[in-house]
């Protein structure tokens, strides 16, 4: 009986090793892709439009010897293509260079990569209803919707709502933000009536607005800050299809957080819009504005 058990055990072990050896044999050698070639086609290129027709659309194609699949990486986002093709529609208005990294994968996950740059023209024509909403086709004044929950808020940079904190109605009434007025003119100019002060993150205000004025922030790093009325310009774009309002200098949504002063328009109606910017602290800061005329 013992001999039978030993024979069965030996056969089991032999089968296991045989199976492993077979799997390793079928897996094959690790082969790194070579001779990688990436070509780009900017839509609308001709003799008078060397950077495209303004749509921002670019077709990418990649080939490589011994590659079994490809991956495209742009602005932190990745997508896989077995055929090595990918189309991007870039959305930043104007002429800009964009860098896209292409990775070719061989057997076993070994890879080769190459980064290519394309210089593309994007011409954005804002929808007529967006311009009308913002400017009344002439000039329009906005205010914070202080009576609404979430008129200020904060969350992760990639969030579309203030998941960490949303201000209760009139929560910041003592801090000088609710009397601010934001005036958008159809010619692309903007005036912010501050009534002498503003409210926000003291570190960001000190960095961008000329020092900390001898102020001490509260436990949230916030403070009221003296700031005169100012004027600058604004423009609209739609990177990745996201309607975005950009100020030329310090323009902001009533709670100063620094950053690049680009505001994604998350939702809008004829007289109201919810917006978000990424502040100097890397967080997403939200506001709700409502038109008053």
Q: 187 with 267, same domain?
A: yes
The confidence score (pLDDT) of residue 26 equals: 52
Q: How many domains does the chain have?
A: 2
The pair of three-digit structure tokens given for residue 91, joined into one six-digit string? 């959305």
CATH of the domain at 191: 2.40.128
- What does the pLDDT look like over 156-214, one tens digit per residue? 999 999 999 999 999 988 888 999 999 999 999 999 999 999 888 899 988 888 888 88
**62 Cα distance to chain centroid:** 26
| pTM (2 d.p.) | 0.66
Q: Is residue 269 part of a domain?
A: yes
Is 85 part of a structural domain of the chain?
Answer: yes
Provide CB contacts within 8 A for 104, sequence distance 6+.
Answer: 33, 36, 62, 64, 67, 69, 70, 84, 111, 112, 113
In this structure, the answer to whether residues 110 and 146 fall within a common structural domain is no
Mean pLDDT value of segment 1-23: 46
Instruction: Say if residue 54's pLDDT is above 60.
Output: yes
- Residues 162, 101, single domain; the answer is no
Same-domain check for residues 118 and 153: no
Q: Is pLDDT of 93 > 50?
A: yes
State the average pLDDT over residues 61-82.
Answer: 92
Domain span holding position 272: 128-291
H/E stretch holding 30: none
Q: What is the mean pLDDT of the chain?
A: 88
**Together in a domain, 166 and 113:** no
pLDDT tens digits, 185-200: 999 999 999 999 988 8
Query: Do residues 95 and 117 make contact, with C-beta atoms less than 8 angstroms apart?
Result: no
Above 50 in pLDDT, residue 224? yes
250 and 133 inside one domain = yes
């Amino acid at each position: 009986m013992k001999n039978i058990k030993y024979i069965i055990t030996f056969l089991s072990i032999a089968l296991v090793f045989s199976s492993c050896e077979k799997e390793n044999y079928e897996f094959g050698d690790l082969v790194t892709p070579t001779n990688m070639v990436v070509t780009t086609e900017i839509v609308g290129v001709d003799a008078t439009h060397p950077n495209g027709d303004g749509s921002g659309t670019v077709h990418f194609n990649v080939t490589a010897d011994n590659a079994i699949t490809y991956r495209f990486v742009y602005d932190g986002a990745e997508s896989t293509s077995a055929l090595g093709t990918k189309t991007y529609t870039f959305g930043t208005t104007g002429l800009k260079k964009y860098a896209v990294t292409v990775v070719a994968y061989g057997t076993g996950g070994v890879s080769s990569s190459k980064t290519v740059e394309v210089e593309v023209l994007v011409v954005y024509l804002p929808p007529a209803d967006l311009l009308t909403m913002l400017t009344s086709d002439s000039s329009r004044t906005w205010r914070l919707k202080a009576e609404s929950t979430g008129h200020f808020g904060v969350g992760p940079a990639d969030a579309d709502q203030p998941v960490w904190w949303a201000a209760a109605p009139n929560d910041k009434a003592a801090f000088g933000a609710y009397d601010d007025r934001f005036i958008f003119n159809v010619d692309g100019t903007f005036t912010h009536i501050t009534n002498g002060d503003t409210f926000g993150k003291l570190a960001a205000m000190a960095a961008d607005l000329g020092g900390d004025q001898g102020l001490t922030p509260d436990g949230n790093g916030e403070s009221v800050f003296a700031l005169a009325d100012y004027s600058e310009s604004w423009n609209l774009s739609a990177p990745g299809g996201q309607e975005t309002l950009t100020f030329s200098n310090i323009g902001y949504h009533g709670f100063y957080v620094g950053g690049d002063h680009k505001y994604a328009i998350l939702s809008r109606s004829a007289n109201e819009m919810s917006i978000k910017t990424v502040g100097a602290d890397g967080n997403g800061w939200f506001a709700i504005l409502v038109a008053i005329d």
